Amino acid sequence: MSQQRNGQAAGVSDGAVFPDLPEATVARLPEYLRALHNLAETGFDTVSSEGLAAAAGVNSAKLRKDLSHLGSYGTRGVGYDVALLIAQIEHVLGLTQRRAVALVGVGNLGHALAGYAGFSSRGFRIAALFDADPGRIGERINGLVVHDIARLPEVVAAEAISIAVIATPAHAAQSVADRLVAAGVTSILNFAPCVLSVPDGVDVRKVDLAIELQILSFHEHRKSALTTLPSPTGDGSMKIRPTLDGEALAT
Amino acid sequence: MSQQRNGQAAGVSDGAVFPDLPEATVARLPEYLRALHNLAETGFDTVSSEGLAAAAGVNSAKLRKDLSHLGSYGTRGVGYDVALLIAQIEHVLGLTQRRAVALVGVGNLGHALAGYAGFSSRGFRIAALFDADPGRIGERINGLVVHDIARLPEVVAAEAISIAVIATPAHAAQSVADRLVAAGVTSILNFAPCVLSVPDGVDVRKVDLAIELQILSFHEHRKSALTTLPSPTGDGSMKIRPTLDGEALAT
DNA sequence: TAGATTGTTAATCGATTAACAATC
DNA sequence: TAGATTGTTAATCGATTAACAATC
């Protein structure tokens, strides 16, 4: 059982059909795509690696390295053709068709995700909603009716769904994942704060909102610990910020 | 201007007060913490690296390496004391006090985040809501009133807020970030699909829901491209899954 | 003591980055 | 041609992993 795909992105073993892409590159391509769409709307036909890198928040060496994995789509001395690069990245990401997505769990967070416009505008169609709560089944959200989760196999097949979003409480998520996999889903975006176990060949990505804040909390904690220490640059200045932590500080 | 903290986690330059933690370790500590709370609830007093690693979805070598950065809190031949390790991780993450968080943008997604129970149960208190839409100001969500964003400085100071969540449309996010920073916020969790530019010393983490699906889409695309290719293991078997992509396949 | 399990070492691997030759 | 910018190289850095000595 694998819990998360890692290392090089899957491709055929001889490398003839598709080049393998480093996972770090795959994770950045969507950001480049978003930046390119912005540039296109602003009227740019062409962009340099420096310009695109700035728009995507990375350095230009990394951007060029990433794009070099896709093949050569830039022109030396000129830059990249915006429309061409958009098409190429959309092709690599498999976004040339709109993908149908199932969403399981229409509570607080799931309800918001069902109405999230960003899914629709960036390559996806929420094709079906599911919940286990009898009180919610039949409810309409954004033009979609909430199905009983028992109907997963039927609806997943009918809508040709291969990607699902789990927005249930943590205690229900593993069971939902099992049922999704049994119904034929092969990619899962998990918002429940728990680890999912899935068979090889199924990809899981996890988004844990509290974990994001906890990582920020760590850095806040570090920053406040620096409050009264002498500057490491040796210029004699002190960083004085009020510490909210009330923690013992080295002096 | 920095857009994202990277590399080793910040600490004092001489390393005397806090050990520096690798960023990859920092990002996993919250997952260990969640797993430990589960174990504690299930009645475990002690857990081995093997057991905790399984619960957190990592391998045990990585877990031990991560924990070794905190100091030595395990007992050879026995394992880790669950309560002690919880306390240690919460201390390192700065979760010994409940941190006040501001949320800006109470539209579709922001409204759900304002009611997200996981923030409250895992170390945070949504202390204030803000929006720019006059139609939403004064609205009550989960017992909190939505303030005019013009009141940011005042409320951030009064509530001692250092962390904020941006859940506005992308076109408003940079301006909101600027105002948050001006008001004294030093950590931002950004749900808007855009790059934020902030001064050094301010940490930004970004969650882009569509990007998560696009990364899964890439892997779906790869999986369907494998459909009719001979097995790389050379056992003569074929991976036959119906391809939904309708894409030209090498044969 | 014997068995179990940690904490650390060292090898490996993947990602980042600066520099620059190639070339438009 | 001269200037600009890509694509690639090679060095560096950080993260992962297996193995095992230390030790409970």
Angle B82-92/B23-41 helices, nearest 10 degrees?
A: 140
Check residues A47 and A233 and name the one with the higher pLDDT.
A47
Does B243 reside within a domain?
yes
Nearest chain B residue to A115 by CA distance is: B108
Length of chain B: 251
For strand C, give the nucleotides within 7 A of a protein CB.
2-10, 13-19, 22-24
Same domain, B199 and B115: yes
CA distances from A67 to A13, A33, A87 (A): 21, 11, 13
**Residue of A180, A214, A249 to mutate for B, most B C-beta atoms under 10 A:** A214
Check residues A248 and B215 and name the one with the higher pLDDT.
B215
| Overall average pLDDT of the A48-62 stretch | 98
Confidence band, pLDDT 50/70/90 cuts, at residue A19: low
**Rounded to 10 degrees, what is the CA torsion of B105, B107, B108, B112?**
50
The mean of the pLDDT values for chain B is 87
Q: What are phi and psi of B205, to 5 degrees?
A: -120, 145
Report long-range pairs for A3-7 (Cβ below 8 Å, ≥24 apart).
A3/A195, A3/A196, A3/A197, A3/A198, A3/A204, A3/B57, A4/A203, A4/A204, A4/A205, A4/A206, A4/B57, A5/A203, A5/B219
Report long-range pairs for B193-201 (Cβ below 8 Å, ≥24 apart).
B193/A34, B193/A118, B194/A34, B194/B170, B195/A31, B195/A35, B195/A55, B195/A56, B195/A57, B195/B3, B196/B3, B196/B166, B197/B1, B197/B3, B198/B1, B198/B2, B198/B3, B199/B1, B199/B2, B200/B1, B200/B2, B201/A223
| Overall average pLDDT of the A95-99 stretch | 97
We report the CATH number of the domain holding residue A37 as 1.10.10.10
Among candidate residues B40, B74, B92, the one where a domain is terminated = B92
Give me the sheet containing A99-104, strands edge to edge. A140-141, A144-148, A124-131, A99-104, A163-166, A187-190, A203-206
Q: Which of A192, A158, A162, A200 is nearest to A175 (CA)?
A: A192
What residues make up the domain containing A44?
23-92
Nearest chain A residue to B204 by CA distance is: A216
Residue B14 has pLDDT above 50, yes or no: no
Does B33 reside within a domain?
yes
Task: Give CA–CA dist A55/B172, Å, rounded.
Answer: 16
Angle B60-68/B49-56 helices, nearest 10 degrees?
A: 100
Strand C-contacting residues in A 17-56, CB cut-off 7 angstroms? 22-25
- Residue that has been written with the tokens 């920020």 in this structure: A216
Residue A238 has pLDDT above 80, yes or no: no
How many other β-carbons are positioned within 10 Å of the β-carbon of residue A240?
Answer: 8
For the ranges A137-151, A215-229, B50-64, B222-236, the lowest mean pLDDT is seen at B222-236
| CA count, 13 A, side-chain hemisphere, A114 | 25
Same domain, B222 and B127: no
Among candidate residues A70, A92, A114, the one where a domain is terminated = A92
Residue B105 has pLDDT above 70, yes or no: yes
| Overall average pLDDT of the B224-246 stretch | 46
Nearest chain A residue to B193 by CA distance is: A34
**Residue of A213, A228, A240 to mutate for B, most B C-beta atoms under 10 A:** A213
Instruction: Let me know: does B163 contact B189? Beta carbons within 8 Å.
Output: yes
* Residue among A29, A193, A212 minimizing CB distance to B207: A212
Per residue in A196-210, pLDDT (tens digit) is 999 999 999 999 999
Task: Give CA–CA dist B185/B163, Å, rounded.
Answer: 6
Task: Give CA–CA dist B150/B159, Å, rounded.
Answer: 16
Same domain, A69 and A142: no
Does A133 reside within a domain?
yes
Residues 6+ apart with CB under 8 A from A89: A29, A32, A33, A36, A70
Does A17 reside within a domain?
no
Same domain, A49 and A68: yes
Q: Which of B7, B12, B13, B39 is nearest to B26 (CA)?
A: B7
| Overall average pLDDT of the A18-47 stretch | 95
| Residue B59 in marked binding region | no
**What is the largest distance, in Å, between two alpha-carbon atoms of chain A?**
70
Same domain, A240 and A190: no
Does B233 reside within a domain?
yes
Task: Give CA–CA dist B6/B171, Å, rounded.
Answer: 26
The mean of the pLDDT values for chain A is 87
Residue B6 has pLDDT above 90, yes or no: no
Does B228 reside within a domain?
yes
We report the CATH number of the domain holding residue B135 as 3.40.50.720
Residue B10 has pLDDT above 60, yes or no: no
For the ranges A102-106, A173-177, B9-13, B32-36, the lowest mean pLDDT is seen at B9-13
Q: Which of B165, B70, B187, B176 is nearest to B113 (CA)?
A: B165
* Residue among A14, A93, A216 minimizing CB distance to B214: A93
Same domain, B134 and B185: yes
Q: Three-class SS string for B31-61?
A: HHHHHHHHHHHCCCCEECHHHHHHHHCCCHH
Task: Give CA–CA dist B71/B59, Å, rounded.
Answer: 19
Chain B environment of A123 (Cβ under 8 Å) = 210, 213-214, 217
| Overall average pLDDT of the A229-235 stretch | 42
What is the percent of chain B where pLDDT is above 70? Answer: 82
Same domain, B76 and B154: no
What's the pLDDT at A20? 86
Chain B environment of A226 (Cβ under 8 Å) = 10, 12
Chain B environment of A29 (Cβ under 8 Å) = 214, 218
Distance B205 CA to C5 C1' (A): 36
Same domain, B110 and B167: yes
Same domain, B69 and B129: no
Does B5 reside within a domain?
no
| Residue A107 in marked binding region | yes
What is the percent of chain B where pLDDT is above 90? Answer: 80
Same domain, A37 and A55: yes
Report how many domains make up chain B: 3
What's the pLDDT at A72? 79
Nearest chain A residue to B227 by CA distance is: A12
Does B10 reside within a domain?
no
Q: Coil, strand or helix: which one is B75?
A: strand
Task: Give CA–CA dist A159/A103, Å, rounded.
Answer: 13
**Residue of A219, A226, A238 to mutate for B, most B C-beta atoms under 10 A:** A219
Among candidate residues B207, B223, B242, the one where a domain is terminated = B207
**Where does chain A have alpha helices with state H?**
23-41, 49-56, 60-68, 82-92, 108-114, 117-121, 152-159, 170-183, 209-225
Instruction: Let me know: does A115 contact A138? Beta carbons within 8 Å.
Output: no
Give residue B162's identity as a one-letter amino acid code. S
What's the pLDDT at B225? 77
What's the pLDDT at B72? 79
Check residues B224 and A159 and name the one with the higher pLDDT.
A159
| Overall average pLDDT of the A119-124 stretch | 97
What's the pLDDT at A54? 98
What's the pLDDT at B196? 98
Q: CB–CB of A223 and B11 under 8 A?
A: no
Task: Give CA–CA dist A225/A249, Å, rounded.
Answer: 7
| Overall average pLDDT of the B186-198 stretch | 98
| Overall average pLDDT of the A51-74 stretch | 96
Task: Give CA–CA dist B45/B10, Å, rounded.
Answer: 32
Same domain, A201 and A166: yes
Same domain, A109 and A178: yes
